[in-house]
Homo-oligomer: A and B are copies of this chain.
Amino acid sequence: MEQKKTDRRVKYTKMVIRESFLSLLTDKPITQITVKEICQKSDINRATFYSHYEDVYDLLDQIENEFYDSLMETINANKSTLNSVAVPNDILQTIYKYGDLCTVILGKHGDKAFLRKLINLGYIDALSSWRSLFPNISHDELCLIYELIANGCIGLIQIWIEKGMTEHPEEIAEIIVSFTIAGLRGYNGLHDK
């Protein structure tokens, strides 16, 4: 993606910073993690940290973006298979594949906003397919239901992660899709208005 990081020093520095940060994030939320703390743990000078990252959030951003990119690759690779379970499946599979990382960045002290960003990858597909499949439900209601489902997925995935990803990722995707379709099919919402 960027230049080739030939210099071993840089590679090492970023690596230990990253490891230390993720280790800290396992134990407490990012709001309580200081630059100083990361540097102590990784035995790196604070000035060095600042030469690579703006602050702790910038560090998290870079980690997240890296993951996001590899997820996008997977999704684009599977783009041909057009069915409703495809994207959820890709997302869950990728989370599962990078389990160690995701347990930290999406788990207990994880970043809900980032998980939401992942979920939204299915947004356009989901919403447009719902609209044609369930023309009796109003646009506004569909949007609210999307909000319900999207946030539901976030919570469900977080629980799945926190419990150690014991179920297969396809099972979680299956639960989500099955429940969603059933809900929409049987939905009998606001009558007038």
A181 touches B186 (CB 8 A): yes
Residues of B contacting A179 with CB < 8 Å? 145, 148, 183-184, 187, 189
Q: Could you tell me if B145 and A151 are in contact, using CB atoms closer than 8 angstroms?
A: no
**Cα-based distance from A18 to B159 in the complex (angstroms):** 34
Contact (Cβ within 8 A) B148 A155: yes
Tell me if A68 is interfacial: C-beta within 8 Å of chain B.
no
Q: What is the total number of copies of this protein in its complex?
A: 2
Interface string of A158-192 (1 = CB under 8 A from B): 11100000000001101110111111111111100
Known: A155-B148, A190-B171. A180 touches B182 (CB 8 A): no
Task: Give A135-158 interface residues, CB cut-off 8 Å to B.
Answer: 141, 144-145, 147-156, 158
Given contact pairs A178-B188, A182-B188, A189-B174, A155 touches B151 in the complex (Cβ within 8 A): yes
Sample of 7 further A-B pairs with CB below 8 A, known A144-B156, A148-B153, A151-B154: A141-B175, A144-B172, A151-B152, A178-B188, A178-B189, A182-B183, A185-B186
A→B interface (CB under 8 Å): 31, 112, 141, 144-145, 147-156, 158-160, 171-172, 174-176, 178-190, 193
